Amino acid sequence: MIDPWGSSIIDYEKLTEQFGIKAFKDVLEDIPDASKLMTRGIIFGQRDYKRIADSLKNNKEFATMTGMMPSGRMHIGHKMVVDQLKWYQKKGSDIYLSIADMEAYAARGISKEESRELALTEYIENYIALGLDVTKDNFHLYLQSENEEVKNLAYLIGKKVTFSQMRSIYGFDNSTNVAHIYTPLLQVADILHPQLEKYGGPKPVIVPVGPDQDPHIRLTRDLAAKFNDEYGFIEPSATFHRFMTGLTGEKMSSSKPKTAIYLTDSIKDATKKVKSAKTGGRDSLKEQKELGGQPDQCSIYELLVYHLVEDDEKLENVRQKCLSGEILCGNCKQCAVELLTDMFEDLDSKREEAHEIAKDLL
Ligand code: SF4
């Protein structure tokens, strides 16, 4: 069982074996002009991606679906989803973005108004500043509680799921509130509704998620197949990306400020966090010069790979110099600070306009 409400999953290989997630590298060569997240193995797994690769290659219609349950502040790890949405948007995909206010209420007691406010001011504002074009006709943003199609579909598909199934997938027990038990069906409906007639009928849909969301994907695919006769649903495809390690070495989390760089951190605070981050450096300078560093266990290197260095050659250069002990963590952190400063200055310069756009979106 994977718990979408709290586990931290690290063993990606075991995960792919256990749950039947396929390796992303198997489809990589079929993707025209694959993104950095794909080529760098950050997106490591997939279900049924061939369908999406085919749509990409042959300019066929498909949709990209994601959702967010607004809680806490947006951190740099969340940027990965935005990067993926931007990439699919550039490729001509419709983008569907659900604000899971009903789930936030059922699972965390957050009111609809709080969800709306947090989604717009903290998340969507940053999404826009990061370059997602929310003004396009093919961008669909909605609150779950205000989307009648999603709510109706959730109810209808609920007919073919039993409580016993829900319990074995999500680990619900006798103390779980009933609204919470219902929320996975809303997520299933979120993912399936772009295929309803109103939205142009059946089409491939890609859902980029972290591996903790796989239970939703499996349930959705199962229900899509069960309702294929009625709606013609195509089983949605999914990709799975690695989580960023937090700056302290544990999982990056909104609720643990020391693990994460928030997108609205001041440059001063972000710098401080980078400077005190856990690296793959050795205990002493002498040892590091002799043995080299360990980039694969380094949160700074991860920052460079995920977000800060576009150029593959430059990245490989850092890696080799780290491995050979030619660069030390102090220099490396300084370099990360400079790149991060550029990114934050750019975001700051766009945030005011982003705020104006975001505030009227829902
Ligand atoms: Fe990480 Fe850079 Fe230190 Fe290598 S030199 S361990 S990449 S901070």
Answer yes or no: is pLDDT of 9 > 70. Answer: no
Mutate to test the pocket of ligand 1, among 273, 285, 324, 328 (most ligand atoms within 8 A of CB): 328
- Whether the CB of 304 sits within 6 Å of ligand 1: no
Quick one: which atom of ligand 1 is closest to the CA of 295?
7
Enumerate residues 6+ apart whose C-beta is below 8 A from 29.
Answer: none
Quick one: which atom of ligand 1 is closest to the CA of 319?
7
Task: Measure CA 15 to chain center.
Answer: 17
- Whether the CB of 24 sits within 6 Å of ligand 1: no
pTM: 0.93
Answer yes or no: is pLDDT of 1 > 90. Answer: no
Separation of CA 295 and ligand 1 centre (Å): 6
Mutate to test the pocket of ligand 1, among 298, 326, 328, 333 (most ligand atoms within 8 A of CB): 298
Separation of CA 307 and ligand 1 centre (Å): 16
Q: What is the mean pLDDT of residues 322-327?
A: 95
Separation of CA 335 and ligand 1 centre (Å): 11
Separation of CA 267 and ligand 1 centre (Å): 21
- Whether the CB of 325 sits within 6 Å of ligand 1: no
By CB atoms closer than 10 A (0-12, 13-18, 19+), residue 9 is middle
Model pLDDT for residues 137-157, shown as the tens digit of each residue: 999 999 999 999 999 999 999
- Whether the CB of 354 sits within 6 Å of ligand 1: no
- Name which residue sits closest to atom 5 of ligand 1, judged by CA: 329
- Whether the CB of 45 sits within 6 Å of ligand 1: no
- Whether the CB of 281 sits within 6 Å of ligand 1: yes
pLDDT category, 10, cuts 50, 70, 90? low
> What's the pLDDT score for residue 255?
80
- Whether the CB of 301 sits within 6 Å of ligand 1: yes
> What's the pLDDT score for residue 236?
98
- Whether the CB of 4 sits within 6 Å of ligand 1: no
Answer yes or no: is pLDDT of 325 > 80. Answer: yes
Of the chain, the percentage scoring pLDDT greater than 70 comes to 97
Model pLDDT for residues 163-188, shown as the tens digit of each residue: 999 999 888 999 999 999 999 999 99
Separation of CA 265 and ligand 1 centre (Å): 23
- Whether the CB of 309 sits within 6 Å of ligand 1: no
> What's the pLDDT score for residue 215?
87
Q: What is the mean pLDDT of residues 154-161?
A: 97
Model pLDDT for residues 95-108, shown as the tens digit of each residue: 999 999 999 999 99
- Whether the CB of 55 sits within 6 Å of ligand 1: no
Quick one: which atom of ligand 1 is closest to the CA of 294?
6
Main-chain dihedrals φ then ψ at residue 279, nearest 5 degrees: -115, 180
Beta-bridge partner residues of 97: 66, 141
- 128-156 exposure pattern, b = at least 16 Cβ within 10 A, e = fewer: bbbbbebeeeebbbbbbbebebbbebbee
- 193-215 exposure pattern, b = at least 16 Cβ within 10 A, e = fewer: bbbbeeeeebbbbbbbbebbbbb
- Whether the CB of 293 sits within 6 Å of ligand 1: yes
Answer yes or no: is pLDDT of 12 > 80. Answer: no
Hey, what's the torsion of the CAs at 181, 184, 186, 191, to 10 degrees? -170
- Name which residue sits closest to atom 8 of ligand 1, judged by CA: 329
Closest alpha carbon to 64 in 54, 76, 52, 78: 52
Answer yes or no: is pLDDT of 266 > 90. Answer: yes
By CB atoms closer than 10 A (0-12, 13-18, 19+), residue 57 is exposed
